[in-house]
Structure 1
Amino acid sequence: MSPERPFPGSEVPLQAGRMTQGIGRRGGQVLRPTGPWSEAVHEHLRHLEAAGFDGAPRFLGLEGHREVLTFIDGDVPVDPDWRPGTVQRLPAYARSEAALVATAALVRQLHDAARGFRPTSTEYRFVPHPPRQGELVSHGDLGPWNTVYRSGVPVGFIDWDAAGPVDPLVDLAAAAWEFVPLAPPEQLRAAGFDPVPDIAARLWLFVGAYGPVDRSVMVAALQQSRLLAAERIKHAPVDAAEAAEALEHVSRELRWLHSVRSHLSR
C-alpha cells in the first residue's frame, strides 16, 4: 500500500453504508471497496487535506481493490430500520440546535475548502463531468448517517463515494432537508422530535449559520435538491417496489414543500 504502511492488527467489519458493503476498520484505518469513481474522489480528498479541511477522512492509499482512509472516531447516527422513502430516526444529540448550527458551519468550511478546486479526474459516480460555472465539488450525500459526532457536535463527514459537482446552494438545501430535517409533523415525531419544532425557525437557523442566503433563492434550491434526489434513485441498490416507494417519498416531499412554501419564505 502507498503512501503509508498498513496499521498492524486484525480487521473488524463496520456497519455498511446505505450504498456500500464490505467496509472494515483496522486500527486507525478504514478499508472500503473502490469503484470507477474512486480516483476522482481520492483527488478531491487530497485537495481538502491540502486546503486544511479537517472534516473529511484522509486518503492513505490502496490495498488491492480497496481504498484505505483514516478513521474518524465518534458516533454516527445510523438508523438500522431506515429504508429508501422512509424518515430516519435521530438520537437526541443529532436533533439539538447546537448540532444543527455546527453542521451548517462544517458545510460552509467544506464549501470554502472546495472553492477553486480544478480536478483532473472527473469520473464522479453520479455526475461524471468537471464542475461547471458556479459549481464546486462536494460530498454529494450529506446527512446524519454520513456524519461523525463527538460530544454531540459534528466533526466530520464520511462515505464520499457520491462526491461530485453541485451548485453550493443546492448542496446546502439538500443538507437542510436531512439535518433540519424538513418534514411534516408526523414524520418529525417518527424521527424523535417531541415536541415538534418550528421547522421554518430551524431551517433559517441552519442557513444563517452557513452564511447570508436570500430566502426565496434558498426555497427554490430546496425544490431543486429534491428533483436531483429523484434522479439518483436509479443508482440505489433497491428493487422496483423500493424504487417506486422512494420516488413516491420525493413526490410527497415536493407536495409538502409546495404547501409550506409561503411559511418558509417569510
Structure 2
Amino acid sequence: MEIRYSSHPEDVKYYTTEELRDHFLITDLFQYGEIKSVYYHEDRMIVGSAMPTTAALVPEDGRQLGCAYFMERREMGILNIGGEGIVKADGAEYSLQYSDALYVGMGTKELSFSSANPADPAKFYFVSVPAHKSYECVKISKAEAIVQRAGSEAQCNTRTIFQYIHPSVCKSCQLLMGVTTLDSGSVWNAPPFHTHERRAEAFLYFDMQEEDVVFYLMGHPTQTRHLVVRPREAVLSPSWSMHGGCGTGRYSLAWAMAGENQAFGDMDAVSLADIQ
C-alpha cells in the first residue's frame, strides 16, 4: 500500500509539476490480476482498484492499518467500470455489472474480488474510510441512485449526478460516493468551483476516449494549479483545495467524500471573480 501524506496549502504553492503529480495524482490503476491501493492521510482515506482475471483478489491484511483485518474499523464503496464482476463479503456474493456499486460495512472479515469472464475482467474502483458502526452491505445499481441534473449548454457543462452511497439510498458512517456523467458536447464538471473544509474527496476519471485528457484545476482559489489526468486515473483532493476540470472530450468521474458530515450540498462556492 502506497502512503500519501497531507500537504499544507502554503507549501503546495511551490510544488513543481512532478511534485503535484506525486502528491495528488494516482496513475497505473487497473492492472491485470492486481490490487493497487493508496493510503491518503486526509481523512484516512484509502483509494484503490482491483482488476481480477483468473483468480480472486483479496485486500491485504490489516497490519498496515493497525487492525486484525482490512475492514475491521472501515467501510468501503466499490464501483465497477469494467466487465461483470463478483464481490464476496463474508459469504454473501454480489454480482456487479458495469456502473453497479456496492457498499461494504465495517467488520466485514472476508472480502474478495473476482471477474465473471477473465477475458473481459471487472474493473473495481474502491474508496475506504474509517467507520464507527457496522451497517449492512448494499448493492446499488445506477437505476437505484439519486439522480440530479446540473449545468447548461451555454456553459458547456450539462451533466447528470448519480448519488449511490448517500443517506437517502443506504446507511453509511461517513462515506458518500457517486458518479457524474457529462452530456455529449459538454466538457466542464464545474462551475461552481468550490472547496469543503470539512471533507476530503477523491475523483476517478473514466468513460472517455483514450486520447482525451482532463485538465483538473486544484489549489487555493488564489493560487490555482492543474493536473493533466488521463483515462482511469484518480485525483486526491485535500479539503482546502478547490476542484473542477475541463476535458478535451466528454467523460465521467466517480467521486467519493468523507469527513465531518454527509451533507452533499455542504460546500463553499468560489466566485469566478476571485480565482487566480
TM-score per shorter chain, which class?
A: under 0.3
Q: Which has the higher helix share?
A: 1
Specify which structure has the higher proportion of strand. Answer: 2
TM-score by length of 1: 0.28
